[in-house]
Amino acid sequence: MQIGFIGLGNMGAPMAANLAAAGHDVHGFDLAAPCPDGVTPTTSGADAAKGADVGITMLPNGEILRAVAAEVIPALSPGAVLCDCSTVDVESARAVAAQAMAAGLEALDAPVSGGVGGAQAGSLTFMVGGSEAAFASVSPLFEIMGARAVHCGDAGAGQAAKICNNMILGVTMIATCEAFALADKLGLDRARLYDVVSTASGQSWSVTSYCPAPGVGPQSPADNEYRPGFAAELMLKDLTLAQAAAEMVDADTPTGRLASDLYRRFVEDEDGRGRDFSAMLPRLAGRGRDDA
């Protein structure tokens, strides 16, 4: 396929490189980042998208996506698919899909989980919103860039799945960190708490796959001085998007809101920026009940 790939940052560059390495004709554009090996550089988003069967975007936020889509949509040929893999607000995803379909294109929102390591290894999970036909036509590309693609429903459903998942992740990570911090003060060894919780009803991915306590459970960013991994500011982004979506549809998400407020404080007022999101454990362990 001919592919226009716009946004060649930490995630986009290895994704585009994997498509090129698999034999696709990939034309790339980024405002700042260089084109990876195998990808043909172009001078604008429209130029990258011209004549492409699929336009893929991997951009920082919904505002930038809307601006890039306005430029790219007229450049794609009728019948082509615009596939956005960025994490953006549900409203922007739906607006861009509507604009693309009005221009005779197909559109998918296909945010990912798996991080930079997953993008490099081609093992991402894609959560996809859009038509069955568009999903089927882009599936061979998802298979190259990822290990799994789930068709979640119509336009916006991929973004909805992503923020619901990450709201659970943010909340369970905080709950896990709270429990380890409480255990410390009760004189309960962290390894013994792990032995219990990892097979008991408090079990979650945050405990068994990404344990926030150094030296306990499998290797995780906690064992690497909380270097990300998944940075606290990216968790804050996703929790903020979840709260924006909850506002939009009047959904009551009390612990999601608390998690968003806590990560905002951690990133904006404290030392959380640039640390893994599991560094919530040393933050909580160092505090007392009445600390603001």
Active site positions, annotated: 162
Q: Which of 17, 58, 73, 82 binds ligand NAD (CB under 6 A)?
A: 58
Per-residue x/- track, 87-116, ligand NAD (CB under 6 A): x------------------------x--xx
Residue 20 CB burial class (10 angstroms; 0-12, 13-18, ≥19): buried
Dist. CA 227–CA 279, nearest whole Å: 9
SS3 label, residue 56: strand
Does 171 engage in binding with ligand NAD (CB under 6 A)?
A: no
Q: Any idea how long the chain is? A: 292
Tell me the CA end-to-end span of the chain in Å, nearest whole number. Answer: 55
Cα three-residue angle 171-176-182, rounded to 5 degrees: 125
Does 147 engage in binding with ligand NAD (CB under 6 A)?
A: no
How many CB atoms within 10 Å of residue 41?
A: 14
Dist. CA 292–CA 279, nearest whole Å: 18
Between 116 and 164, name the residue whose CB sits nearer to ligand NAD. 116
Does 6 engage in binding with ligand NAD (CB under 6 A)?
A: yes
What is the closest distance, in whole angstroms, from the C-beta atom of residue 17 to ligand NAD in the complex?
13
Q: Which of 60, 74, 104, 274 binds ligand NAD (CB under 6 A)?
A: 60
Residue 5's nearest CA partner among 32, 38, 30 is: 30
Between 57 and 285, name the residue whose CB sits nearer to ligand NAD. 57
What is the closest distance, in whole angstroms, from the C-beta atom of residue 42 to ligand NAD in the complex?
10
Does 77 engage in binding with ligand NAD (CB under 6 A)?
A: no
Between 47 and 178, name the residue whose CB sits nearer to ligand NAD. 47
Please give the residues from 9 up to 38 whose contact with ligand NAD meets the rule CB under 6 A. Answer: 9-12, 29-33
In DSSP notation, 127-165 reads EEEE-HHHHHHHHHHHHHHEEEEEEEESTTHHHHHHHHH
Does 239 engage in binding with ligand NAD (CB under 6 A)?
A: no
Contacts with ligand NAD by CB under 6 A lie at 6-12, 29-33, 45, 58-60, 64, 67-68, 86-87, 112, 115-116, 234, 237
